[in-house]
Amino acid sequence: MLGQIKYPHLFTPLDLGFTKLKNRVLMGSMHTGLEEREGGFERMAAYFAERARGGVGMIITGGISPNMEGGFGAKLSTPEEALRHKLVTDAVHAADPGVKMCMQILHMGPLAHGEDAVAPSAVRSRISRQTPTELDAAGIEKQLSDMVNCAEMAKKAGYDGVEVIGSAGYLLSTFLVEKTNRRTDDWGGSFENRMRFPVECIRRIREAVGTEYILIFRIAAMDMLEGGMSWDEVVQLGKAIEAAGANIMSTHFTWHEATVPTIATMVPRAAFTSVTGRLRKELSIPVITSNRINMPDVAEDVLVRGDADLVSMARPMLADPDIIIKTLEGREDEINTCIGCNQACLDHTFTGQEVSCLVNPRACHETLLEYKPTTSQKRIAVIGAGPAGLSYSEVAAKRGHQVTLFDAADEIGGQFNLAKKIPGKEEFYETLRYFAKMIDVRGIELRLSTIVTADMLRAGGFDEIVIATGIEPRVPELEGISHHKVVSYIDVIKGIKTVGKSVAIMGAGGIGFDVAELISHKGKSASLDIDTFAKEWGVDFKNHPRGGVTGVEPIVEAADREVYLLQRKLTPVGRGLGKTTGWTHRIALARRNVKMINGCDYVKIDDLGLHVRIGDQLQILDVDTVVVCAGQNPLRSLYDELQADGLSVSLVGGAFEASELDAKRAINQACHMASAV
Ligand code: FAD
Ligand code: NAP
Ligand code: SF4
């Protein structure tokens, strides 16, 4: 097939001696939230089977705890629990017997949610609410035998192997570094003692499961925090784990408490693979690399460079279950690319919601959101080719409807055409490429540069009319809002209006932050250049200091401009941003000296600047430009006109509800509506 010629490394099988992986791509471990839910295993079975059919070589489940103290409910320690897992392994092997299905054993240690969390020492993590209990010698033995039992149960459940996570600030990694392991017995002190627990864990699991079983260890190749492992320690641990019986080493980067972004969209693609490549030279077992490898060419390049034997794609498998089969068939331009936003996956995990995907709401909802062929074809007009209109059109046309998609602009994408211009959001181009291709593939009639009116639609003879016209920016009622200093965010991002040397941004939502990023930015976008990224986040890939970080506050180049980012609320600025990415934006702007001010009442705008009241103090911000990013209102006059005529018309996306609208909600709503039309 075409893909095998274009990506020869990616499609070369990997022989592990007793078993073979059919290609070099695995679906990395992701917690879905289904593990603990009623009916969750049935849904997981459908979710994983769909990925198995999509061509991936190996799948690793989300983390499963070996005991109560190690996790948050999704435990595997009994034969009854193993039976539930069998639903998953049977479904995957039925979908494709060639796919290897492994289970991740995750002992969260000090990050476990319950009050009975345990750790080598009673050291509370920066991101945890409770201090763990220090394990005594018997407690350590119990944890080890629970890990072994969990692996045995996984084998019983039909898994082809297990992965033991030894990174991220979970139990095993807390043994490894001095800041969390203060023991003076055989399990602490020298590095040899500190690595005893993970090594013993692998040794005993291997003994229990036998030689012909996949046993992966996930090593923190870079902890990304001060006081983490040195490079020599990483190598020493890797070799000891190999000797203890692991047959694949998976490299991981970061502890959850680290302050370096490692998977957000601002991280360059394949940023960390050079570290895996260095470790690979020290070991003789196959090595997996990961993080921001979201397209087949990126994965192939990693393998060509010799950075790894296997490439882990986790979130890209949420975004498109068929990514590998499309690659194999030479249909890469049909891949729905993971944009690294975290909005529906990791943000959901960390807020206790079921995982899904912004660009693919079916992810983890395979049995609930189905795109079945229609039995009565309709002629549908979709007005607006933003994310909502595009998604609706794609799904409706896929189901067999005849769709005409209109947009006033001369390109598809709506507000995504603004988003893609923000440094760090270049991945949005991929979503637009995907939709452009799908318009072709699905035979959607596209009419650009067409401002649709109610009369046009009345005359069109459509069975259904879907209004996806999006939003219009809110203009606050404020003295001086028409002053020549005042500009809209749309004009600034499009480059229609320039901003001066000093700028006040009114509104610190997602768009206010993006505008602040755009106008405070200087030089290359760090997301497109690994060296710039490393400099801006204090990472030293080449010298690999302890933990991988320099420990010095990074000096970040900034535009020669004074920027104020303002909001009226008293909550900290940026509180409403994504759970797992908001902090990266706050840090990035602070490093460029953007002044973020909350509790700010706007009084007026005049030649002197923006007059504000902060607490009891009246102040004049002597700025050249005021950029309004004060939210949006729905644009739905067409709907109001047509509904009065009794036509079958519906609203979707921003046109339906502009408040707190994001692309996740717009796409999700559109896909659900189109699945039922
Ligand atoms: P829109 O994208 O606004 O599309 C509406 C379309 O309708 C437009 O193309 C318009 O031309 C067309 N239209 C309007 N009237 C007519 C008419 N009469 N005839 C024909 N066509 C018409 N969301 C996220 O989830 N994550 C992000 O990181 C993110 N970043 C963003 C960054 C920026 C700078 C901006 C501006 C937005 C960002 N968003 C983000 C928000 C996201 O883009 C919107 O939520 C999403 O675009 C809304 O989709 P929509 O289809 O409802 O509307
Ligand atoms: P938003 O997040 O709702 O923020 C609007 C801002 O304007 C708030 O700071 C609000 O805070 C302020 N505001 C509201 N009414 C105002 C008024 N009358 N006068 C002055 N200020 C007012 O909306 P947005 O920034 O326009 O973003 C639109 C959507 O796109 C959001 O839902 C967002 O999630 C999404 N988006 C997401 C990202 C992302 O990275 N995930 C990036 C960009 C956009 P105060 O009321 O406190 O002043
Ligand atoms: Fe990727 Fe965003 Fe989907 Fe998560 S929600 S899988 S980061 S596109």
Question: What secondary structure letter does DSSP report for 226?
Answer: T
Question: Is the pLDDT assigned to residue 315 strictly greater than 80?
Answer: yes
Q: CA-CA distance, 32 to 40, in Å (whole number)?
A: 9
Q: Band of the pLDDT at 584, cuts 50, 70, 90? A: very high
Tell me, what's the pLDDT at 645?
Answer: 86
Range with the poorest average pLDDT among 252-261, 379-388, 442-451: 252-261
Which mutation among 415, 527, 566, 568 tests ligand 2's pocket best, with the greatest number of atoms within 8 A of CB?
568
**Span 245-262, mean pLDDT?**
95
How far apart are the two ends of the chain, measured CA to CA in Å?
37
Question: Is the pLDDT assigned to residue 660 strictly greater than 90?
Answer: no
Nearest CA, atom 1, ligand 3:
338
Q: Band of the pLDDT at 37, cuts 50, 70, 90? A: confident
Q: 475's torsion region: left (phi>0), alpha (psi -120 to 50) or beta?
A: beta
Beta bridge partners of 161: 102, 214
Span 613-626, pLDDT tens digits: 999 999 999 999 99
Tell me, what's the pLDDT at 644?
Answer: 84
Does 167 contact ligand 3 (Cβ within 6 A)?
A: no
Beta bridge partners of 617: 614
**Span 319-324, mean pLDDT?**
98
**Span 392-403, mean pLDDT?**
98
Catalytic residue among 159, 170, 392, 489: 170
Q: Which helix (H) or strand (E) holds 655?
A: none
Does 361 contact ligand 1 (Cβ within 6 A)?
A: no
Nearest CA, atom 7, ligand 2:
630
Amino acid making up residue 50: E
Span 442-477, pLDDT tens digits: 999 999 999 999 999 999 999 999 999 999 999 999
Span 322-354, pLDDT tens digits: 999 999 999 999 999 999 999 999 999 989 899
Question: 152: which 2 tokens?
Answer: 């045995």
Q: Band of the pLDDT at 164, cuts 50, 70, 90? A: very high
Place of tokens 């030479």: 330
Question: Is the pLDDT assigned to residue 31 strictly greater than 90?
Answer: yes
Q: Band of the pLDDT at 57, cuts 50, 70, 90? A: very high
Q: CA-CA distance, 297 to 537, in Å (whole number)?
A: 26
Span 623-651, pLDDT tens digits: 999 999 999 999 999 999 998 888 899 99
Q: Which of 673, 648, 656 is nearest to 462 (CA)?
A: 648
Annotated catalytic residue 429 = no
Rg of the Cα atoms in the chain: 26
Span 269-297, pLDDT tens digits: 999 999 999 999 999 999 999 999 999 99
Does 315 contact ligand 3 (Cβ within 6 A)?
A: yes
Average pLDDT, rounded, for the chain: 96
Which mutation among 511, 573, 600, 602 tests ligand 2's pocket best, with the greatest number of atoms within 8 A of CB?
511
Question: Is the pLDDT assigned to residue 601 strictly greater than 90?
Answer: yes
**Start-end of H helices in 125-266:** 137-156, 171-176, 191-194, 196-209, 231-244
Span 115-148, pLDDT tens digits: 899 999 999 999 998 999 999 999 999 999 999 9
Tell me, what's the pLDDT at 74?
Answer: 87
**Start-end of H helices in 356-427:** 387-398, 416-419
Q: Map residue 635 onto helix, strand or coil.
A: coil
Question: Is the pLDDT assigned to residue 72 strictly greater than 80?
Answer: no
**Span 346-373, mean pLDDT?**
96
Which mutation among 360, 394, 404, 415 tests ligand 1's pocket best, with the greatest number of atoms within 8 A of CB?
415
Tell me, what's the pLDDT at 336?
Answer: 98
| Structure-model confidence comparison of residues 42 and 73, the more confident one | 42
Residues with CB under 6 A from ligand 2: 343, 474, 476, 506-512, 514, 567-569, 578, 629-632, 660-662
For the chain, what percent of residues have pLDDT higher than 70? Answer: 100
Q: Ligand 3: distance of its center to the CA of 664 in Å?
A: 10
Quote the pTM value.
0.96
Determine contact, residues 581/662, Cβ cutoff 8 Å.
no
Question: Is the pLDDT assigned to residue 114 strictly greater than 90?
Answer: no
In DSSP notation, 519-572 reads HH--SS-GGG-HHHHHHHHTB-TTT--GGGB--SPPP----S-EEEEE-SSSSP
For the chain, what percent of residues have pLDDT higher than 90? Answer: 95
Q: Write out the E strands in 35-151.
A: 58-64, 100-105, 118-119, 133-134
